[in-house]
Amino acid sequence: MSEGLLFLAHRIPYPPNKGDKIRSFHLLRHLSTRYRVHLGAFVDDPADWQYREALRPYCASVRLVPLHPRRARLASLAGLLTGEALTLPYYRSGALRRWAAALAADGTVTRGLAFSSAMAQFMPPGLARRVLDMVDVDSDKWTQYAPTQRWPLSWLYAREGRKLAAWEARVAGCFDATLLVSPAEAALLRQRVPAACDRIGVFENGVDAEYFSPVRDYPDPYAAGQISVVFTGAMDYWPNVDAVSWFAERVFPAVREAVPSAQFTIVGSRPAEDVLALARQPGVVVTGSVPDVRPWLAHAACAVAPLRIARGVQNKVLEAMAMARPVVVTPQAAEGIHGAPGRDFVVAADAAGFAAEVVAALRLRASVPQARARVLAQYDWTRNVSAVDPLLEAASPAAPLLETCPA
C-alpha cells in the first residue's frame, strides 16, 4: 500500500478554473498516483461545496473547512495585536490543525505538501518529508500594492509585505524544500533567505494544451461585426480589476479610434463594481462567469494581459498562447513566461505603446502558431509537476536544488 501524504491547500483545488486552483489540482492529481492523499483545504466560495465528491477519486480522505471572506478579514485583524502577517489569522482554523496533527500522530501520513505559505502553519512537525509549494513570493505583491493606495491601506499593505516576508523566510528555512512558480520568484526568495537557497527550487506551471486547442469548432460568442480584444480572469481579484480599468480608460479609447468596430470583452467570474462600471464605456462588455472560456479566446482578434501588479506566471497568457492567439502583455505579465517577445507574445510598457500593439494585432487578425508551439514545448503539466517527486521521496535531507547558491 502506498504511503499517506498530507496535502494542505488554502482553497479547494477544484474546479481547476483559476490560477491557483489550476496548479493545485494538477499537483493533487499527480500526487494521487503515488500516495494515499489526505486533503485539507478551505472553501471560500459556497458554490464550490458541490465539488467535494469530484475530489474523491484523488483522495483517501477530504477535510474541507468553510471560510467566510468577510469574517476572515475581521479575524485577520488579530495579527495587528500578535505582530504577525494578517494572512495567517485569515486562514486560521483549530479544526484543520487538529485534523492534520492527528493524521501525523497515528502514522496515517508520513509526508506532507503545503500549497501556499499560509498553509505552512498547519503542517505537523516530524514528518519524513515536508515540501512547501509557495507558488509566488506573495509578500512582494503586498509591497507593490502599498503605494497604489491611500492611508491607512497604504500602511496596512506595506506592513503586510514586511510581516509576510518574515513568515516566508521562516518557513523556507524549516521545510525540506520550497518550490516557486518561476525562476524569477525562486531567485527573489533565495536572495531573501540565503541560508536556505539550496532548498529553494522551481516547479513551473503547465497548460492542458489538448483542452486549449485552437482547432476545435467553437461557437462564436461575439456580436456580428465586432472585432474583440479579450481579457480573461477572476474579476474580483484586485490586480485584474486594476488591469482592465487601466486598459479600458487609458488604452482602449485609442484602440477604438483607430478601429471603430473594436470591442473590449472582460470575461471572468464575480466582477467587482469597478469592473461592472466599465461596461458604461462605448465598446466595453463585461460577461461575468462563463461556462467555457475557450470560445471567447478562439474568436478574439487579440488577447491582452495589461497587469501592472503581478507575481509569478499568468495562466491567462499561457492559455491564450495555447489557443494561438496574439497576446499583448505588460512587462509585469510577461515575467516568468518562456518565450520570445515579438514572436510568441508582444510586450508593451505604456498606454500608447500598448494601444499601438493592439491595433496592429486587430488589423492583422492572424493566428500565432509559434506561441502554441512554445506552450507545447515548455508547459507540459505531466513533465513539470514531476519536479516535486524526488523532494517528497528523499529519505534524507534534500540534495541541493541548485549546484551553487548566489553570494
Whether 294 is covered by a domain: the verdict is yes
- On average, the pLDDT of the chain sits at 93
Q: Is residue 406 situated within a structural domain?
A: no
Q: Examine residue 211 and state whether it is found in any structural domain, yes or no.
A: no
What's the CA gap between 200 and 118, in Å, rounded?
17
Beta bridge partners of 232: 267
Instruction: Say whether both 298 and 344 belong to one domain.
Output: yes
Residues 102-112 as b/e (b if ≥16 CB within 10 A, e otherwise) read: ebbeeebbbbb
pLDDT score, position 403: 37
Smallest CA-to-CA distance from 136 within 20, 236, 39 is with: 20
CATH code of residue 182: 3.40.50.11720
Which helix (DSSP H) or strand (DSSP E) does residue 328 occupy? Answer: strand 327-329
Report yes or no on 273 lying in a domain: yes
- pLDDT for 395 equals 60
207, 322 contact by CB (below 8 A): yes
If asked whether residues 25 and 109 sit together in one domain, one would say yes
Quickly count: other Cβ atoms within 10 Å of residue 217's Cβ: 6
Residue 72 counted as domain residue? yes
Q: Which segments of the chain have a pLDDT < 50?
A: 396-407
187 lies in the same domain as 268: no
Tell me: do 185 and 246 sit in the same domain: no
* Pair 52, 201 in one domain: yes
- Please give the model's pTM, rounded to 2 decimal places: 0.88
The set of residues, in sequence order, having a beta carbon less than 8 Å from that of 35 and lying 6+ positions away, is 2, 3, 4, 5, 111, 392
pLDDT tens per residue across span 10-45: 999 999 988 899 999 999 999 999 999 999 999 999
Which has the closest alpha carbon to 89: 100, 101, 99, 79? 79
Same domain, 17 and 76: yes
Domain count, the chain: 2
86 with 193, same domain: the answer is yes
Q: Quick one: cell of 361?
A: 494585432
- In three-state secondary structure terms, 253 is helix
pLDDT reported for residue 397: 47
Q: How far apart are CA 141 and CA 307, in angstroms?
A: 12
C-alpha cell read off for 398: 534534500
Whether residues 370 and 388 fall in one domain: no
**Strands 61-66 and 36-43, bridge-based pairing:** parallel
The verdict on residue 97 lying in a domain is yes
The SS3 call for residue 341 is strand
Residue type, 315: N
pLDDT of residue 17: 85
Residue 220 covered by a domain:
no
Domain of 53 in residue numbering reads as 4-206+381-393
Closest listed residue to residue 381, CA positions, set 30, 107, 35: 30
Same domain, 88 and 123: yes
- Going by DSSP bridges, is the β-strand pair 200-202/346-347 parallel, antiparallel, or unpaired? unpaired
Q: Looking at the structure, do residues 51 and 79 belong to the same domain, yes or no? A: yes
CB-based contact 62:39 (threshold 8 Å): yes
Quick one: 197 and 247 in the same domain?
Answer: no
Which residues are CB-contacts of 81 (< 8 A; sequence separation ≥ 6)? none
Phi, psi of 293 (to 5 degrees): -80, -15
Tell me, what's the pLDDT at 405?
38
Distances (CA, A) of 15 to 209, 387, 404: 17, 23, 39
Same domain (yes/no): 324, 198: no
> Which CATH number covers residue 341?
3.40.50.2000
In sequence order, what DSSP letters do the residues of 271-303 get, joined into one string? --HHHHHHTTSTTEEEEE--S-SHHHHHT-SEE
Residue 407 is assigned to a structural domain of this protein: no
